[in-house]
Amino acid sequence: MSFISEVESSIRVLFDATSKGFQMDPGTGFNQIDNWIQHLRSIDQPVLRPIVTELETLRGHINNNNAAAMAQSFQTLGELTAQSALTTHSFKGEGDKAREISQKLITAAGNLRHIAKMPAQH
């Protein structure tokens, strides 16, 4: 599985976990984020450093189970991902995939904002 495919799958896993308020285990979110951080650090590109920083911020919001803050982090990650793709143009389609991931992150942010406004269900 390519890293891009893994990220797309991870966004869904993260969203599913966050939308349920981590009733199961926040470790699911931590594992996904930690994998992204490790991979992006190994690339060691300056344009990716703000993304790593925001992923670390998101990890803290997950730890605090703060859906509104998680939504903001997803939004920021989407915007940073789009910015990182601005200069990526290749026949492999990496820039296009990064832009697609950006859209998925921003969509997840919007969905989390909606969930954050909903009263907690018991």
Model pLDDT for residues 65-103, shown as the tens digit of each residue? 888 898 899 999 999 999 888 776 555 667 788 888 899
pLDDT at residue 61 tops 70: yes
Alpha-carbon distances of 19 from 46, 48, 62, 96, rounded to whole Å? 32, 26, 11, 27
pTM of the full structure = 0.78
Q: CA-CA distance, 18 to 66, in Å (whole number)? A: 9
pLDDT at residue 64 tops 50: yes
Alpha-carbon distances of 20 from 46, 65, 100, 122, rounded to whole Å? 34, 10, 24, 11
Q: Tell me the pLDDT tens digit for each residue of 103-119.
A: 988 988 888 888 777 65
Closest of 77, 75, 97 to residue 88, by C-alpha: 97
Among 13-17, 38-42, 64-68, whose mean pLDDT is lowest? Answer: 13-17
Q: CA-CA distance, 73 to 23, in Å (whole number)? A: 20
pLDDT at residue 121 tops 60: no
